[in-house]
Structure 1
Amino acid sequence: MGNDDAQCSPCRRNAAAGESRPEPKNDEFWQRPAMAEALKSRDFGKVMYAYRYEHRPVITQAALGRWLNMTQAQISRLERGAKPPSDLDKLAAWALTLRIPEPVLWFRLPRRNSEAPAATPSRVDFGWFGGRRRSSGLNTDVHAPLSVDSIRENIGLFRGLDNRFGGGHARGIVGAYLADEVAPAMHSHRTGRDQVEFISAVAELNQLAGWMAYDVGDMLSGRRHLQQALQLCQRVGDHALSAEMLAGMSHQAAHARDGAASVGLARAARDTAAGTGLAALESETAVMEAHGLALVRDKRGSVAALRDAEDAFSRADRVEHPAWLSYYDAAYLAAKMAHCMRELGDLRAAERFARRSLEMSAGYDRGKLFNTALLASILADLREIEEACAVGHDALRLGRKLQSARTQLYLQDLAKRLHRHQAVPVVAALGEELAAIGISFGAAPTA
């Protein structure tokens, strides 16, 4: 007997136990408070939990697991996990299986073949590379040739995800795109300007992959990607992008508190940027040098480099910014200056710059968290505890949706700076919220 026509007894028993194929739900189901709150959290583990408990009878973890080709234990771990799942292939597959409508999701579902426009651009929609899948049962056969425009369009999409949700959100997708789509295309025959533009675009993609790796704490991969990007830029004589890669390496060295390396890389970046005609790039490389010098306690040199950075920025024209430098604005410069002033012990100047750094453009959620946590930590050092905790709560709220190891480091730094005040009620209350995400008051920071 075909189960499409009628169910056998075991199948009827399974359906009664909530193990039949998921049926489409009406709008009211997805708007129920528990379901809406779970979707708002951008955590599919919470979505699974709410989905099960909005059914009567409640769907078991084992039944949900059978629908999603997972074990009961895997469902349980996802529902209890502190870190939301981030594999966008899996998220899309789960959403399609549970028939969750795209308008309520925080990511886009892949197009079906029948839904694809006649001329499908080579574009990434959360893991769908120009129509060719790396793996998964979900598939489409359309594949447009890889071009500079398509790579840069995808870089723009990836950058947006990275800035809003952290490097962990789409890092796997970027790695797959590099390996499966871009690397094979490197062997295509291109000449002249086409080759220069293509290789520079691949360098930008490697740069983004490097920042994503760095953001999740994989410093080795981050450095390797930036070195690869630098080699590509040098290969085609792209001096501006070469300077940007060197500046990125300097930034990462400063993050690791290797001041000497940071200074050396920043000076190489400044030398390379000098002939590009990009004042914003000159400003960025100068402020990177200032940060490295602050780390090695060269106050005079750091202040001089900060002046150079301000002067160059005053000459910068936003129109001149290439896409890969669009993040560098007054707020970014102010944040770097705040870091420098804090390292040099001028906390009041650091506070002024940190407040200025919060005047940010929309879409840089991770950067806003960094700058907010920076201000909170400076206020903690100034012993303005009430405001430090209030700003700390803002940073914590921003951090809940981010998949970023640096987020944890910024919040851990704040916790350390509040260590000596943990008996104060407002500090204790913040400490409880930090503890809920695995951050505790550690030893007080060294000077």
Structure 2
Amino acid sequence: MTHSNCPRCGGRLARDNDTGRCTPCQVAERDRLSAPPVVPASFWEHEPIRRALAERHLGRVIRAYRCHPYHGRVALPQTVVAAWLGITQAQLSRVENGSPLVHLDRLTHWAQLLRIPASFLWFGLPDQPYRADIRVLEMGTDDPSSGRILDHIGPPTDTDTVKEASTRGGGATDRRRFNVMAALTGLAAAGHGYLLAGTSDVPKYIGMEQVQLASSLVDDLRQADALAGADLLCDVAIHAHTTLSAWAARASYSREVSEALQSALADLSIESAWLSIDASRRSEARPFLNEAIARARIADDPRVEVRALAHLSLLIREDQPGESLHCADAALRVSAGWATPRLITLLHLRRAHAYAVLGDASGFNREMTKARQALDHGAHEDDEGFVHFVNAQEVNGIEGISYLALGRPERAAQSLRAVTDNPSPNHRRNEVYYTVRLAEAACQQGDVNQAARIALDVLPAVRQISSKRVSQHLAQVRANLAARRDANTTTRQFVDAYDRAVTV
């Protein structure tokens, strides 16, 4: 007995039709092997899909997607959907039947590929605002995953102040308050409110679901960082780390959860360290990275250990270049056999800059060659979120600041200009940072007019990204230009504009 209507278009089916689809719909779907079809809005209201979305398990969402009646009586094969996603059939099987995905880059890419409406998702999509209403911070419910998280951290939760700051433009303080509140709202909407609340209420028992949410917080912090900047999110990450540490010390959990919890805490430690570095609170970063390495070893998680070593190499490269080199060496040893080309590129860049600070031009050139060779192999499906900024622009940028360390500003300017001439739109912070360093290179070359022009052009962007690491470099450019006896009109324009900006 066949269904009387086609589930795709609603047309009546012939009595001898055993495919579950009318002939026009079968013709329309011939191209489905190459890309996901455009589905109607009602598609996402199907109960199995709604249930999988409520469980925040994208693998189960994909399985429900494949088995949807819209596709006919026969489910879409895993091989077809895996090809859409750029993975193998075996990998898709593990995604559908394993633990929930927590890496935000993969979640967003697949959600966009399948055209899942943003209103159904538990995470934000690139170039789209978080769907949560700012009033989530004012709800005051008893649910630990929502409510007044700003009672515990960050600026006051005055909704009128937020509205006023967002509508009138306001001063720098109002804009910063609005940005951090918007970022925190997004984190709360993503299910992290309980981690951002007070540390006094520790759950009696921790399950894998809570640990997975804690892991995904790192990806959400990266996304929020693009909105608010490290200056604003540093305390947020540290607070969440303190809360999760209290859980680890006082709650009960299984051995399986224990290993996952150690990895989650190590990841959060690394993110807290990075935000501390970018907020120029470097002294706070080292303990987080030391903790991350220890927890990664307890959890027997070499991937987290390598991330911590890569960040530690970055942290100490200026003051302790020899130790920075050893950290990058250790990361290469630990990751041997599984490191992706981008990760290998990053670690050789770490070594290259350390050699430059040591004044070893030969070692620097050798490592830069290895970095470029690794990058030529391109992206990999196993790339982790923290290496997605590693691209041709980043290689040129590290080459440029390394030449500054070697005392070759003319060569530094050439590499840094390659970044500013071909910016990476998804890595605005790095573009601004390398533009400031280009102004520094021009200043060291003695080209005062060029340095002042670059600095004047980049000043508004520096104010927007809220990175003290970047703003301190621009402050040094201002000091160097102001001290020049051959200052010209452009130099005075930049110094005056900079002084007005920092007093607002």
> Which residue of the other structure, out of 231, 239, 248, is the alignment partner of 2:294?
231
SS in 2 for 1:189: coil
**Could you tell me how far 1:183 is from its partner in structure 2?**
3.4
Structure 1 segment 41-440 matched on structure 2, within 5 A: 89=153, 91=155, 93-95=157-159, 100=163, 106=179, 107-108=181-182, 124-125=188-189, 129-130=193-194, 133-134=197-198, 147-181=210-244, 183-185=246-248, 187-192=251-256, 195-254=258-317, 256-358=318-420, 359-418=422-481, 419-420=483-484, 423-437=487-501
**Could you tell me how far 1:310 is from its partner in structure 2?**
1.1
Distance 2:152 2:414 in 1: 40
Distance 1:127 1:238 in 2: 25
Contact 1:217 1:405 in 2 (8 A): yes
Indicate the structure whose relative CO is greater, using CA pairs within 8 Å and at least 6 residues apart. 1
Structure-1 residue corresponding to 2:43: none
Distance 1:235 1:392 in 2: 46
The one-letter code sitting in structure 2 at the alignment partner of 1:430 is F
Contact 2:344 2:374 in 1 (8 A): yes
Stretch of structure 1 that moved more, 298-307 or 177-186: 177-186
Distance 1:424 1:218 in 2: 35
**Could you tell me how far 1:275 is from its partner in structure 2?**
3.0
Contact 2:196 2:243 in 1 (8 A): no
**Could you tell me how far 1:398 is from its partner in structure 2?**
1.1
The one-letter code sitting in structure 2 at the alignment partner of 1:428 is R
Distance 2:398 2:283 in 1: 23
Structure-2 residue corresponding to 1:19: none
Deviations 1:224-279 (A, max 9, x none): 1111111111222222332221121111112x433222222222222223332322
Deviations 1:97-126 (A, max 9, x none): x58389855443988xxxxxxxxxx95359
SS in 2 for 1:168: helix
In 2 relative to 1, CA 237–394 (structure 1 residues): closer, same or farther, beyond 3 Å? farther
**Could you tell me how far 1:288 is from its partner in structure 2?**
0.7
Contact 1:167 1:404 in 2 (8 A): yes
The total of aligned residue pairs comes to: 337
**Could you tell me how far 1:306 is from its partner in structure 2?**
1.0
SS in 2 for 1:93: coil
Deviations 1:19-61 (A, max 9, x none): xxxxxxxxxxxxxxxxxxxxxxxxxxxxxxxxxxxxxxxxxxx
Contact 2:196 2:239 in 1 (8 A): no
In 2 relative to 1, CA 391–102 (structure 1 residues): closer, same or farther, beyond 3 Å? closer
Structure-2 residue corresponding to 1:73: none
SS in 1 for 2:390: coil
**Could you tell me how far 1:420 is from its partner in structure 2?**
2.5
RMSD: 3.5
Percentage identity across paired residues of the two chains: 17
Distance 2:475 2:190 in 1: 31
Distance 1:428 1:263 in 2: 41
**Could you tell me how far 1:178 is from its partner in structure 2?**
1.7
Report the TM-score, using the length of structure 2 for normalisation: 0.59
Distance 1:205 1:154 in 2: 8
Distance 2:365 2:151 in 1: 44
Stretch of structure 1 that moved more, 339-348 or 355-364: 355-364
Contact 1:247 1:285 in 2 (8 A): yes
In 2 relative to 1, CA 131–390 (structure 1 residues): closer, same or farther, beyond 3 Å? same
Distance 2:300 2:424 in 1: 32
Deviations 1:140-187 (A, max 9, x none): xxx996524312332222112324433221222222222224530464
**Could you tell me how far 1:95 is from its partner in structure 2?**
1.8
**Could you tell me how far 1:401 is from its partner in structure 2?**
2.8
In 2 relative to 1, CA 422–266 (structure 1 residues): closer, same or farther, beyond 3 Å? farther
In 2 relative to 1, CA 287–430 (structure 1 residues): closer, same or farther, beyond 3 Å? same
SS in 2 for 1:320: coil
Distance 1:127 1:236 in 2: 25
**Could you tell me how far 1:282 is from its partner in structure 2?**
1.4
SS in 1 for 2:231: coil
Structure-2 residue corresponding to 1:30: none
